[in-house]
Chain A
């Protein structure tokens, strides 16, 4: 029997309650925004070490960017055209004392006070690789580059599904180079990611996927992204067998960022890019779901791979 939306919602709420009960997620009063327990963080830390070991042969440059991005860079990515519904824009107060008093009065009166704010020069990072591209403008070295990234990202999609957080971490390996290098990177990492997840006892499979592009025009973006087989997701049952959750994805951007940020491969052509992104919170959620709330009692093979 097909699972109804109501059943799915119930399953998500039940798993969220279980995670909160176990202390792994600490609710904040806002849907999709949680604190994490030490145990939860430990699982992520150990998982990341597995990824690092598996990626050691890539000689990746390690770069870490904050979860906030230059507004100018953001404007160069076309995210506002394709996924405006997920944006987080950072605003602050730059007014006078009189305006300040008015704002505070409005707030205490329970009225809208945010009209007194003005946009800052930054927005929340929507994907871990965005801050990298403007730093890569110019010509890549012979052989291109591989960059290892991790940061928190923000997506405004409040939900009671514990696997749909508004703020979560992506660990990425990004390839910048020729079209062939970009595609090879994506395919190689889908293979490696499947192996990693299976070695942890997760019931995963790969699927052709699309990004959640906005609106009527987004239909076309979704269709052509699928048609060109650009994005693959590794999905794993978390709160539903029927609708498994994407826990890792591997995406070829063609020359999208190469054009936007004038990145060229050593042969002078516009560079192509691709990335694999591990959704660290979702992977932890899949592990807790599959093996139970207490990592001390996880199967010994899984504990051994994670070096717990």
Chain B
């Protein structure tokens, strides 16, 4: 349910090498050009947007692997 909002955040903060609209929900974001520095911007933007704080156990590449993975993490945090 958070996929569209995450897509919007990815478009404005993701600076990916591929067009976000062409990415499927399970596409690998690292393959699409996600770098560690962009991940930081993305993390901060998602935290601000949803007013949540990612706990340390969610700070891993797996959480940022795909739009699906991010949506799942946000869903857990928003509750």
Contacts and interface: CB of A to CB of B under 8 A. Distances in A.
A227 B56 contact: no
B39 interface: yes
Interface string A16-52: 0000000000000000000000000000000000000
Interface in B55-78: 56, 59-61
Interface in A247-284: none
Interface stretch (B2-10, B18-26, B40-48): B40-48
Contact of A221 (B36, B54, B56, B60): B36
B61 A228 contact: yes
- Name, among A216, A218, A223, A224, the residue most crowded by chain B CB atoms within 10 Å (CB to CB): A223
Contacts of B60: 223-224, 227
Q: Interface residue tally of chain A, by bracket?
A: 10 to 19
A219 B56 contact: yes
Nearest to B43: A220
Contact of B59 (A78, A82, A220, A228): A220
B37 interface: yes
Interface string A217-248: 11111111101100000000000000000000
A235 to B, nearest CB: 22
Contact of A223 (B41, B47, B56): B56
A188 interface: no
Contact of B41 (A217, A218, A222, A225): A217
A120 to B, nearest CB: 26
Contacts, number: 37
A135 B39 CA distance: 28
Interface residues on B, range: 10 to 19
A194 B44 CA distance: 38
A81 interface: yes
Contacts of B59: 219-220, 222-224
A261 B57 CA distance: 33
Contact of B39 (A78, A81, A216, A224): A224
Given A216-B44, A219-B56, A219-B59, A224 B36 contact: yes
A81 B56 contact: no
A227 B61 contact: yes
Contacts of B41: 217
A81 B38 CA distance: 11
Interface of A: 78, 81-82, 216-225, 227-228
8 contacts: A81-B37, A219-B56, A220-B43, A220-B54, A221-B37, A224-B59, A224-B61, A227-B61
- Nearest 7 Cβ contacts at the A-B interface: A217-B40, A223-B59, A220-B43, A220-B59, A220-B40, A224-B36, A227-B60
